[in-house]
Amino acid sequence: MSKRKCKSNSLSLGECIAKAHMILRARFCHHLPGKPFGLEAQYKNLMDLLKQTAVQGESNSVLIVGPRGVGKTMLLKSVLNELMEMKYVKENLLQVHLNGLLQTDDKVALKEITRQLQLENVVGDKVFGSFAENLAFLLEALKKGNRSNSRPVLFVLDEFDLFAHHKNQTLLYNLLDVAQSAQTPVAVVGLTCRLDVLELLEKRVKSRFSHRQIHLLNAFGFKQYVEMFQQQLILPKEFPDGRFAQEWNQNIQCLCKDKMVEDILQKHFNSSKDFRSLHMLLMLTLSHVTVSNPNIRPTDLLAASRQYMMDSKANVLHEFQNFIQRTTHSMHNFKKPVVLKAFEHLQQLELIKPMDGASLRTHKEYQLVKLLLDSSQIMDALQKYPQCPTDVQLWAASSLD
């Protein structure tokens, strides 16, 4: 692609690239609508359940279960994005999103429910005797017109298993009780990575749960993984400049057939094939796309892969070497205060600790220590140190034996 103007909309190449960045980054962060790859059956199941609540006024409860990064949140957001395109749903459906890491007790959860439903003015200084009365009052306040019709409410409970640790599981009991009694159109959707989550529920809570579960598993193979990689990078037909999008998509198709790219993707597939790790890899790759480099090259993916797979301890050790280099120019000039400062720095980084069974008579600053690093991490750090002192190289070689 040359540095040109986009004829149809008078956009420069830089503006086209900025637009591509915005679209793809939003996709990687699960903000754009669209069905997630390989989850068509689960998508249809969840869509049918939520549509029954949003359109027909039926109450439902369901659990989305799967390991972290498998696409639970992405699936839910995709379904909600499609639902919100319906005018009736957009005008009537209310959403409440709770997280077990944030709403650590029922009192905090109730305040958050009140805030998200925008009922602070309705509640005011009113004090009720129980959580159930509070929740009933909030749902009653949502009724419109003749107070016989109530707007449907979707409760999304992320980290669902953590809500089971609340006292008496009051929040879960009351939400599921409302959903079962059909007093108000309510859908309760829980997201969790624990397969045994139902065993954490009390009997009275479990009896009010519908026992609907949607399981997400990464059951696809490498061929589907490459297709998913290509799908995530393809620009949509609605892109402002058709010529730019066509050239970009052709480049992505050629990229997927490159042997280096296949090897990189195979390595990541063997390591972790969830959506989260793939999106992080693509985000790092996309950062290499500029006006001077408008196409994604195999070398860009390789650099992103190395950055993603980078060892954090080796990087910390490399920074420690820079610290030593700034402190003194030669290992022969090391003085006791400098050595002590270096050892204190390593201990703060938790890279060294005293050896087990060190003699109590040994002077503290000269106690034997052991590195919490393996040989590959040490050599990786040394390779990034172009002017490494000879004594450090000898120490590293002796420590690996």
| pTM: predicted TM-score of the whole model, two decimal places | 0.69
Task: Tell me the pLDDT tens digit for each residue of 222-235.
Answer: 998 999 899 899 99
Mean pLDDT of 360-366: 49
Nearest to 73 by CA among 260, 274, 210, 263: 274
In a domain, 174, yes or no: yes
Share of the chain above pLDDT 90, in %: 33
Residue 29 belongs to a domain: no
Q: Looking at the structure, tell me whether residues 96 and 209 fall in a common domain.
A: yes
Average pLDDT over residues 278-282: 91
pLDDT band, very low/low/confident/very high, at 147 (cuts 50, 70, 90): very low
- Burial class of residue 303 in the structure, from the number of CB atoms within 10 Å of its CB (0-12 exposed, 13-18 middle, 19+ buried): middle
247 pLDDT above the threshold of 60: yes
Summarised one tens digit per residue, pLDDT across range 162-174 is 999 888 898 898 8
Does the structure show a pLDDT above 50 at 161?
yes
**pLDDT at 365 (0 to 100):** 46
| Maximum alpha-carbon separation in the chain | 88
- Strand, coil or helix: 186: strand
pLDDT given at position 265:
93
Q: Do 185 and 47 reside in the same domain of the chain?
A: yes
Task: For residue 18, tell me if it sits in a domain.
Answer: no
Three-state secondary-structure class, residue 381: helix
Q: What is the pLDDT confidence band of residue 24, given thresholds at 50, 70 and 90?
A: very high
- At residue 275, the pLDDT reads 82
Residue 13 lies in a domain: no
**Same domain, yes or no, for 339 and 357?**
yes
Residue with tokens 């109450």: 59
Which residue, 280, 308, 336, sits at the end of a domain?
308
pLDDT of residue 371: 60
Per-residue confidence band for 220, with pLDDT thresholds at 50, 70 and 90: confident
Q: What is the pLDDT of residue 6?
A: 47
Q: Which residues pair with 191 in a beta bridge?
A: 64, 158
114 pLDDT higher than 90: no
Mean local confidence (pLDDT), 353-373: 54
17-37: average pLDDT: 80
Q: What secondary structure letter does DSSP report for 234? A: P
With the C-alpha atoms ordered 171, 177, 182, 183, is the resulting torsion angle positive or negative? negative
CA–CA distance, 318 with 311 (Å, rounded to integer): 11
Is pLDDT of 124 > 70?
no
Dist. CA 339–CA 319, nearest whole Å: 16
Least confident interval from 41-45, 188-192, 275-279: 275-279
Confidence of residue 331 (pLDDT cuts 50, 70, 90): very low
Q: Within this chain, do residues 355 and 382 fall inside the same structural domain, yes or no?
A: yes
- Does residue 22 lie within any of the structural domains? no
**Whether residue 54 sits in one domain with residue 148:** yes
- Of 364, 310, 307, which Cα lies nearest the Cα of 336? 364
On whether the CB atoms of residues 160 and 213 are closer than 8 A, the answer is: no
Alpha helices in 234-311 (DSSP H): 242-256, 259-271, 275-286, 298-308
Rounded distance, CA 213 to CA 139, Å?
A: 26
Q: Tell me the DSSP string of 117-164.
A: TT-HHHHTT---SSHHHHHHHHHHHTEETTTTEE--EEEEEETHHHHT
For 87, phi then psi, to 5°, come to: -60, -45
**Which of 185, 215, 245 is the last residue in one of the domains?**
215
Q: Are residues 54 and 157 in the same domain?
A: yes
Please name the residue that has the structure tokens 């925008």: 118
Of the three residues 155, 183, 215, the one that is the final residue of a domain is 215
pLDDT at 357: 56
Please write the tens of the pLDDT for every residue from 72-113: 988 999 899 889 988 888 888 999 999 999 998 888 888 898
Lowest mean pLDDT, pick from 31-40, 243-252, 316-325, 327-336: 327-336
Q: What is the pLDDT of residue 19?
A: 92
Could you tell me if residue 182 is left (phi over 0), alpha (psi between -120 and 50 degrees) or otherwise beta?
A: left
Place of tokens 């790790």: 277
pLDDT at residue 326, as a whole number? 59
Note down the domain range covering 195: 39-215
252 in the same domain as 304: yes
Beta bridge partners of 64: 191, 214
Q: Distance (Å, rounded) from C-alpha 331 to C-alpha 335?
A: 9
Whether 129 and 165 share a structural domain: yes
Say whether 35 sits in a helix, a strand or coil: coil
Radius of gyration of the chain from Cα atoms? 28
Give yes or no for a contact between 247 and 291, defined as CB atoms under 8 angstroms apart: no
Give the C-alpha separation, 307 to 303, whole Å: 6
Share of the chain above pLDDT 70, in %: 71
Coil, strand or helix at 96: strand
Q: Which two tokens stand for residue 332?
A: 């022969």
